[in-house]
């Protein structure tokens, strides 16, 4: 079982970096959205500092949606997904591996870019560390919850629009807690409670999402 999961991990990671154009799209979108906000609202440091955390998180959510549609798309179209199901491998574990590859390939680069983009928005050091903590804990939640919706829509034509409509309302609580944590850091207040709530949502998703993803993929195959 471990060998098969490792093989899935290596294969998906190699395929992700082979499709460089699709890999770069979320990064380019993330940079463009955040770079355009100072031009739209003005260069005032106080305004940028106030809206900065929300801008970065909204851009991260929208950027993750760009790359999420291909999470199971290619495997569904070429029959690989069906072969994995027939092989007897644990589908929840396979789904966890695929979600981990998506997070590493599509979202970790966004987290690495956030320090530079934080400079555009005049974030203080305390705000940046809080933003980084929320991104590290919250973005895996984006991938896990998003994968459930991807599994349900993988067999549909133009499922990307439906995917966005399904997921954007679900991500609102995460956006609220994440931006509140950074705002608390800007006021020199502890944001551990906000981070704890995001962590609790992540643990809840880790417990239930793999089984939900596996079931959604089974429904899409039938």
**pTM for the full predicted model:** 0.88
Q: What is the pLDDT of residue 87?
A: 77
pLDDT digits (tens, 9 = 90+) for 175-184: 999 999 999 9
Distance from C-alpha of 212 to C-alpha of 96, rounded to nearest angstrom:
11
pLDDT tier at 204, thresholds 50, 70, 90 = very high
Q: What is the pLDDT of residue 158?
A: 61
Burial of residue 153, with CB atoms counted within 10 A of its CB: 0-12 exposed, 13-18 middle, 19 or more buried: buried
**Could you tell me the residue ranges of all domains in the chain?**
2-221
Read off the pLDDT of each residue in 14-36 and give the average, rounded to a whole number.
83
Show the tokens assigned to 168: 């954007």
Closest by alpha carbon to 107, among 180, 175, 173, 23? 23
Q: What is the pLDDT of residue 82?
A: 81
Closest by alpha carbon to 117, among 18, 46, 213, 48? 48
CA dihedral 45, 51, 52, 55 (to 10 degrees): -140
pLDDT digits (tens, 9 = 90+) for 97-140: 999 998 998 899 889 988 788 888 888 888 899 999 999 999 99
């Amino acid at each position: 079982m471990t060998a098969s999961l490792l093989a899935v991990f290596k294969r998906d990671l190699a395929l992700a970096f082979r499709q460089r154009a699709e890999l770069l799209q979320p990064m380019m979108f993330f940079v463009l959205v955040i770079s355009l906000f100072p031009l739209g609202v003005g260069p005032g440091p106080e305004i940028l500092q106030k809206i900065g955390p929300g801008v970065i998180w909204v851009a991260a959510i929208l950027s993750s949606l760009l790359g999420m549609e291909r999470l199971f798309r290619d495997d569904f179209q070429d029959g690989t997904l069906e072969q994995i199901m027939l092989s007897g491998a644990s589908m929840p574990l396979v789904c966890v591996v695929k979600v981990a590859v998506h997070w590493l390939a599509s979202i970790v680069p966004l987290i690495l870019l956030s320090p530079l983009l934080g400079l555009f928005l005049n974030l203080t050091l305390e705000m940046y560390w809080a933003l980084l903590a929320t991104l590290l804990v919250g973005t895996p939640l984006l991938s896990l919850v998003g994968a459930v919706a991807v599994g349900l829509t993988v067999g549909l034509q133009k499922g990307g629009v439906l995917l966005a409509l399904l997921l954007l309302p679900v991500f609102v609580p995460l956006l609220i807690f994440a931006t509140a944590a950074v705002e608390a850091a800007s006021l020199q207040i502890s944001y551990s409670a906000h981070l704890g709530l995001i962590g609790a949502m992540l643990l809840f998703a880790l417990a239930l999402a793999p089984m939900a993803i596996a079931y959604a993929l089974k429904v899409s195959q039938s």
